[in-house]
Structure 1
Amino acid sequence: MKAAMAEEMRRLDEQATQDYGIPGIVLMENAGVAVVREIETIMDGVSDKKICIFAGKGKNGGDGFVAARHLSNRGAKIKVFLLAARDAVQGDAAIQLEILIRMGVDVIEVTGIRDWDKVKIGVAFADCLVDALLGTGYGRDITGAMAQAVELINHAGKTVVAVDIPSGVQADTGQIGACAVSADYTVTFGLPKPGLLLYPGAACAGKWTVADIGLPAALLETPALKLAVLTQRDISRRLPERRADAYKGDCGRVWAVAGSTGLTGAAALCTAAALRSGAGLVTLGIAAGLNSIMEVKVTEVMTRPLPEIVDGAIGLAAWGIIEQEAADSQVLAVGPGLGRQAETLALVRQIVEKSQVPLVLDADALYALQDHTGLLGKAKHRPVLTPHAGEMARLTGLTVADINENRLDVARMAANEWQAIVVLKGAPTLIALPGDEIFINTTGNAGMATAGSGDVLTGVIAGLLAQGLSGCDAALCGVYLQGLAGDLAAANGMAGLLAGDLLKTLPAALAQLQTAGSAGRKSDG
């Protein structure tokens, strides 16, 4: 599903009016009605329910006026608190306000100190509060009366429904300033906005839904929109299909170079995940001194001892074997627990330059690329990188704070500069492609913030690449699949969830997606 930045959404609205002749007031009407439908579902009907709508003077307020009218017609007891003078409301919103006033709906201008007494009384007896104050176009800190309204909404202890986006949340980044509405539900229009998924804004959005307000499908699906939100439907249709007569050689071979003294668990998790994601054969290259222990640690994974430079660490002498094994594999995963000996890092850089098969690079492989990201452009195949914010900070020279405040921009910049598929791990994980395309993942949970989760992701992506997916599709499916496995693993709680638990739930997550994909293909046929 496509997503839109605030300015992109504004242009889509303009195109709907200019190119298709859809008046803005029609879109506003549809938006308000969509909010009403959602409130009816949330409140199990609205007859005799007391609902307070906080409205600003702009289009977001206009959506609120429409909602107020239809809720009143459905029997709800409505109070509209207008955070502006009536004559400050312009355009389509002014028309909707005039209709509301002629209907006799209680509209209270909140422009003076005494007006707040009415607001507080209304809120105290309300069943539901609706935030129609600012919408997506507001990009400054909330101050004054608006801030007072936000604080009142947040401390009322009532069900809160936000119109399009919670007031105070930046639509493009998810950042918030001095304050923002903390909604239980958000009804957004046309397409999702990044601020609903990116933290801290995502924490303010509650459960969000996308309402169809009548924008032409061609506008919502235009290739000019480079941002998308991953859905089960998107992923199910990309996953590899397994033939009934398949054997292990058909399902792809993963060659992984990972692990060092004290970090063998990372190698075990990565390689097991590659198998759990459907790869037919997985071989682990490990320092010769660790090979015996790894043969005990892993069962289904084959091992190949590599020459050491010191106990438990490999160097340039391992390249010949790595190249040989890669020739019989579809993908090479490098980095989990590999170690940071100077010669180990030099080996990683040699692999990036010389590998003839697609690469998935994580952890210590990313550490090796600090100050050497220019090598990524020399890779034969577009590599997949899976950094978390700290690793991205080392690679880019930015601070972790800079990255977390501008995750979309940083991921986009890195993918274009490095000509790589960049999986920026976090909440949520982003997948950026050269050419400005970015996908926002929608699976996963806080329980996955545990050691080893990234190693599992590396293995899942490698396993999908081995089965014939492109680097792009393997990254998208891998991120979504690993997150879904995490959601299944967290069914009994997030605290205490282990990376190894993801290995147990990966087959069920994969089956769920493949079943959905099979059903989708049948319906298309």
Structure 2
Amino acid sequence: MLLTTAGQMREWDRRTIEELGIPGLVLMENAARGVIQVIRHCYPQAQKLAVLCGKGNNGGDGLAAARIFHFLGGQARVYLSGPRDHLKGDAAYQLKLVEKLGIPLREWTGPTDTAAFAAEWADSDLLVDALLGTGLEKEITGHLRDWIRAMNELPPPKVAVDIPSGLSSDSGRPLGICTRADVTVTFGMPKLGQVLFPGCRFTGRLFVVDIGLAPTYHPPEAEAVELLEPFRLAGLLPRREPEGHKGTYGHVLVLAGSLGKTGAAAMTCLGALRAGAGLVTLGIPESLNPIMEVKLTEAMTEPLPEGDPGCLGPEAFLRIQTLSKGKKALAVGPGISLSAKTKSLLQILFKHITHLPMVVDADGLTHLAESPEGLKALAGRAILTPHPGEMARLTGLSVEAVQSDRIGVARAYAREKQVVVVLKGPRTVIADPEGPIYLNPTAHSVLASGGTGDVLTGLILGFLSQGLSLSAAARLGVFVHGQVGLQAAQKRGEKGILASELLEEVPGLLSDQKFWGSPLPEPIPMIKEVKI
């Protein structure tokens, strides 16, 4: 599902009105009708609405919704955030209709009105927020700030029209203050800020209404952001043929683990096997091989020369080069250590193992950040899976700068270095150097424990082994990883889930044809609920 920015929505509106010739008033009517349909779906007992309207088109949508609710026998009261003569165009037309119908209407004239209005809002079944739309760019001040604060403090549920007032539709950050909506009814497509954190917390349940915008408009692919959905990913799932054998599904190589971090190696190998890889070989420091021979019964191990005790060294490269022959993909980094001698090995490996797609994670990313030549050699054949701290090391930015623009940072780095970037975190960002940005819909603290990132690396590696492209393997691996986290939490509770327990959920999920099937049915015709 595509997500839009404020600029993309303006362009979509413009093309619909100016090029297709559909009047803005028609779009406003469709939007208002959608708002009332969602209200009746979510709150069928609601009889009294307080509709808070701004002076722009968002306020016009609210005015039209109040009129439609009135026609259906409900009681609507309208509160204008400023003088009525400030409304222009379609919003002014909607105001005239409300006035002709005698729908109760009050307008703000000064600070003392806010407390009086709030007392009336408290007597409503629902509060409808139609104050500010998706074009907001500056921080909210003055009486609008007071209105939003008062609204948030009142018990009736809040329904936001298009977007909660005060929420940046691009970044998902509150601009000073933001309506905390229970339901948001947005138009055309979900807005990026409604899906990102913290915006999704203010959005509540999200419904998308088709209001008749030009069907031919799509954001340019290079600027597009897409929310991953199972039915769109289903075509990427590797097929299992009756005559298939272990060689059919690929043999992968994992370079991971060091003294005290053998678990990372094990989780990566098992992740690849659970994703469907036919064979997995682990290259491990030779002193740790006896541990892995016991810990990993389904994967093969290859003891390799050490540099520092319990850590791989440059002497291992020739053995690794031989091992890499006939493999489908390579994962490097989980628990591999920050040893200087391991760093020397990886600097050689990044530059000279050029025939395999590679997943680089964890300590491997730290070494890669200090190896510009190695990074250059990975162009076009690598997936990097950093958390925000590792992304900061790769880019030279602060963690705060990375987190403040996760999509922009990941996109810029992927394009500059020509690698696929998987920037982990709530709503993991997948940046393809040539295509759109993908966001993973899942966000759950069950994944906030040691070893879960290693499982993700293994899943991606396992999908690469079966012939998926870099971008496809990253998308499918990230989505499966998030979904098995949700499933584990639903079965066992949110606390105390182990990374190994995620692995147990993978086979069932990959075989669940119903889950990967058609999109969820629309709860209301022409209206889709987005699960965020």
Q: Tell me which interval the TM-score lies in, with the shorter structure as reference length.
A: over 0.9
Q: Is 1:227–1:438's contact at 8 Å kept on the other side of the alignment? A: yes
Q: Is 1:444–1:482's contact at 8 Å kept on the other side of the alignment? A: no
Using the alignment, how far apart are the partners of 1:57 and 1:493 within structure 2?
Answer: 47
Matched position secondary structure for 1:218: coil
Q: 1:457 maps to which residue?
A: 456
C-alpha deviations, 1:248-305, integer Å up to 9, x for none? 1111222110010111111111111111111111111110000000111112111111
Q: CA deviation at 1:158?
A: 2.1
Output the amino acid matched with 1:506: V
Using the alignment, how far apart are the partners of 2:223 and 2:37 within structure 1?
Answer: 28
Q: 1:136 maps to which residue?
A: 134
Unaligned runs of 5+ in 2: 520-532
Using the alignment, how far apart are the partners of 1:201 and 1:380 within structure 2?
Answer: 34
Q: 2:60 maps to which residue?
A: 62
The residue correspondences of 1:484-523 to structure 2 (distance < 5 A) are: 484-491=483-490, 492-512=492-512, 514-517=513-516
Using the alignment, how far apart are the partners of 1:509 and 1:14 within structure 2?
Answer: 43
Q: Is 1:422–1:431's contact at 8 Å kept on the other side of the alignment? A: yes
C-alpha deviations, 1:348-389, integer Å up to 9, x for none? 222222221000000001000124345323226421000011
Output the amino acid matched with 1:440: L
Q: 1:439 maps to which residue?
A: 438
Using the alignment, how far apart are the partners of 2:393 and 2:312 within structure 1?
Answer: 23
Q: 1:261 maps to which residue?
A: 259
Matched position secondary structure for 2:337: coil
Output the amino acid matched with 2:192: P
Determine whether 1:11 maps to 2:11. Answer: yes
> Displaced runs of 4+ in structure 1, greater than 6 A?
none
Using the alignment, how far apart are the partners of 1:92 and 1:394 within structure 2?
Answer: 51
Q: Give the TM-score of the pair, scaled to structure 2.
A: 0.94
Using the alignment, how far apart are the partners of 1:63 and 1:200 within structure 2?
Answer: 25
Using the alignment, how far apart are the partners of 1:409 and 1:447 within structure 2?
Answer: 26
Seen in structure 2, the aligned counterparts of structure 1 residues 374 and 168 have a Cα distance that, compared at 3 Å, is farther
Q: CA deviation at 1:202?
A: 1.8
Q: Is 1:357–1:380's contact at 8 Å kept on the other side of the alignment? A: no
Q: 1:416 maps to which residue?
A: 415
Q: CA deviation at 1:399?
A: 1.0
Q: 1:196 maps to which residue?
A: 194
Q: Is 2:17–2:23's contact at 8 Å kept on the other side of the alignment? A: yes
Q: Is 2:430–2:438's contact at 8 Å kept on the other side of the alignment? A: yes
Q: CA deviation at 1:193?
A: 1.4
- CA-based RMSD of the aligned residues comes to 1.7
Q: 1:296 maps to which residue?
A: 294
Q: CA deviation at 1:232?
A: 1.4
Q: 2:524 maps to which residue?
A: none
Q: Is 1:428–1:440's contact at 8 Å kept on the other side of the alignment? A: yes
Q: Is 1:412–1:436's contact at 8 Å kept on the other side of the alignment? A: no
Q: Give the TM-score of the pair, scaled to structure 1.
A: 0.95
Q: Is 1:267–1:336's contact at 8 Å kept on the other side of the alignment? A: yes
Output the amino acid matched with 1:303: T
Seen in structure 2, the aligned counterparts of structure 1 residues 191 and 461 have a Cα distance that, compared at 3 Å, is same
Q: CA deviation at 1:111?
A: 2.5
Q: Is 1:451–1:499's contact at 8 Å kept on the other side of the alignment? A: yes
Q: 2:329 maps to which residue?
A: 331
Q: 1:385 maps to which residue?
A: 384
Q: 2:475 maps to which residue?
A: 476
C-alpha deviations, 1:421-448, integer Å up to 9, x for none? 0001011100011136211110241221
Using the alignment, how far apart are the partners of 1:276 and 1:111 within structure 2?
Answer: 65
Q: Is 2:114–2:147's contact at 8 Å kept on the other side of the alignment? A: no
C-alpha deviations, 1:200-224, integer Å up to 9, x for none? 1121111212221112322147646
Q: 1:347 maps to which residue?
A: 345
Within the candidate set 250, 255, 272, 2:270 is matched to 272
Output the amino acid matched with 2:421: V
Output the amino acid matched with 2:107: E
The residue correspondences of 1:195-214 to structure 2 (distance < 5 A) are: 195-214=193-212
Using the alignment, how far apart are the partners of 1:101 and 1:518 within structure 2?
Answer: 49
Within the candidate set 182, 185, 188, 1:184 is matched to 182
Q: 1:523 maps to which residue?
A: none
Q: Is 1:327–1:357's contact at 8 Å kept on the other side of the alignment? A: no
Using the alignment, how far apart are the partners of 2:497 and 2:177 within structure 1?
Answer: 33
Seen in structure 2, the aligned counterparts of structure 1 residues 65 and 244 have a Cα distance that, compared at 3 Å, is farther
Q: CA deviation at 1:225?
A: 4.8
The alignment of Structure 1 onto Structure 2 pairs a total of residues equal to 517
Q: 2:523 maps to which residue?
A: none
